[in-house]
Amino acid sequence: MPDSARRPGAHPHRRLLWLLVIQVLALCLFINALVDVAIRRSPYIGDRGSGAVAQCQQVEPLFPKQETPELAQMDDYISSSGFLNKTVARMAGAIKIPTQSYDDLGPVGEDKRWDVLFDFAAYLQKTFPLTHSTLKLEKVNTHGLLYTWQGSDENLKPTVFMGHQDVVPVAESTVDQWTHPPFGGYFDGRFIWGRGSMDCKNNVIGILEAVELLIDAGFTPKRTLVLSFGFDEEIGGGHGARNLAKALVSRYGKDGAAVIVDEGAGTSTAWGSTFALPGVAEKGAIDVEIILRMPGGHSSVPPAHNGIGVMSELITLIEANPYEPHLHSENPFLSLLQCGAAHSPEFPPKLKKLLPSHDGGAFSKKDKLALEAAKAGDLVKYLFTTSVAPDIISGGVKSNALPERTRVLVDHRVNVGDRSSDVKEKLTKLAENIAEKHNLTVHAFNDEPETPRSIKLNVAYEALEPAPVTPTSVDGVTPYSVLSGTTRALYGEQLLVAPGIMTGNTDTRYYWDLSAHIFRYGPGWDPEQEGLEGIHTVNEKLSISAHVKGVQWYSLFIRNMDEADVA
């Protein structure tokens, strides 16, 4: 799940443990900070109000109407020890193939490190024979796997499942820190250990398990099912998902898919309730390169402020002017707060009191609700705040020579409801403040060349605006209502479904034109393993219980979408 470049060859940023980690840890911190500290039991229990409930309607569990003895047998089989043992073996086999994505990979077909993906594709073909004999498989840019299970009704838009074959590399220096080998696929009776077990070979294998079982049970879809598996998501998806998405948009047209489900947020407990949190939005991203030019000279005769000093002053000014928390009406975290107020017995009363300030999207310049919610900590705050982080700095070439050129790269993750242009405007003003003080010229986001005494601002890589927010209406039959109903059918009506938000970016960034209904959701849930211990680091492991639940969810969702009155 990358937090990295937005095009091939772009600089990889430090990977935060986001997606499920952000969702789970943020909500856990929310409980600790706003419930345990502020109040343990809300006085509003039993008085949550019909208005709040109306803003967070929960759909009834949705079960497929079509039932045959073979499908019933399939459902029983998925819950059996026989299936568990077989899917453990298949997951282990997938983990044993080290499909690592490296930041410095060369072009596909030239860099031999891509070739391990041939082994993975061959493994899938051997492991899921019915899928490969029934579905049409196309290779996109050599390693992108595009499966099509053609439906009988061409008037129905397809369901699209996504996943990625690649994994984050394992550093040689960390191998001996693993409890079990990172590419061993060891099963201890509860967890499967290894790189990619949670990110996200479990999704790829889980989807294929569901399809294989449905074929074996004699299911034939009315609605076309598409499986789109990229191969470089961990380094930005520019070779894989970008080309897969182009192929699908070319085939089905703009908004040509009914729904897309990719990896993403999962399930978490908060405020005395359990929430499934399908990601319906992603923050944007823009990296800004700041280049400061000042006269050089011998360092034995320095000016009062040289280039490094002035750049340090600018960085200090940037950090002293952070973005304020702001919950725009379209931000899914606002919907989550409304769901908590409507259904959760331990929802903090102060937040409940402030929620009406956002009714109709109107609030004062200071967003009191966002400011109060942000007190839970940074993992919560940055779900509705543009982040700014100077990540890379360089300047100077010799100990006795004054720096003539100093460079810093500043990473921003743009709040849902804001634009990358807001970042440009703010940085320009801050740079102009420093430039006026030190008699420098500002060249901001234009084609003007660097000049000897100047501050130049450039967009370092392709800026990414916040993702379009997926509709979450449950009036009538909608993709969100089908997803919600499927989830509650699997886990019970005590589970609440609320919109989630991603602070990082998945391969779905390339699929915006294919469907307005994009969900970033990991459906497998083990109540005893909330969180993603080991993701992108040592001891990554997968709960086999969660994996089996994921297979059940995919099989149910395919059938529910097949029957849904959605074009």
List the catalytic residues: 166, 233
For the stretch 36-66, what's the b/e string if a residue is b when 16 or more beta carbons lie within 10 angstroms of its beta carbon? eeeeeebebeeebeeebeebbebbebbebee
Residue ranges of alpha helices (H) inside 439-543 are: 479-491
Measure the CA–CA gap between 254 and 245, rounded to whole angstroms.
11
125/120 Cα distance (integer angstroms):
9
Nearest C-alpha neighbor of 543 from the set 521, 527, 555:
527
Buried b (16+ CB within 10 A) or exposed e, 151-174: beeeebbbbbbbbbbbbbbbeeee
Query: Could you give the CA distance from residue 1 to residue 4 in angstroms, rounded to a whole number?
Result: 9
159 forms beta bridges with: 225, 259
Token representation of residue 555: 């099989």
Cα–Cα distance measured from residue 546 to residue 430, given in angstroms and rounded to the nearest whole number = 48
Residues 113, 145, 198, CA angle at the centre, nearest 5°?
A: 75
Phi, psi of 253 (to 5 degrees): 85, 170
| Contact predicate 48/343, CB 8 Å | yes
Reading phi first (left if > 0) and then psi (alpha if -120 to 50, else beta), residue 405 is in: beta
Going by the DSSP 8-state scheme, the letter that residue 464 receives in this structure is: B
CA distance 236 to 3: 8
Q: How far apart are CA 383 and CA 374, in angstroms?
A: 9
Give kind and range of the element (H or E) at residue 131.
helix 129-134
Distance in angstroms (rounded) separating the CA atoms of residues 478 and 484: 10
DSSP string computed for 400-422: TB--SEEEEEEEEEEPBTB-HHH
> 368 by DSSP, 3-state: which?
helix
Sign (positive or negative) of CA dihedral 95, 96, 98, 99: negative
The dihedrals phi and psi of 109, each to the nearest 5 degrees, come to: 95, -15
Residue with tokens 């993906």: 117
Closest CA to 358 of 333, 377, 379: 333
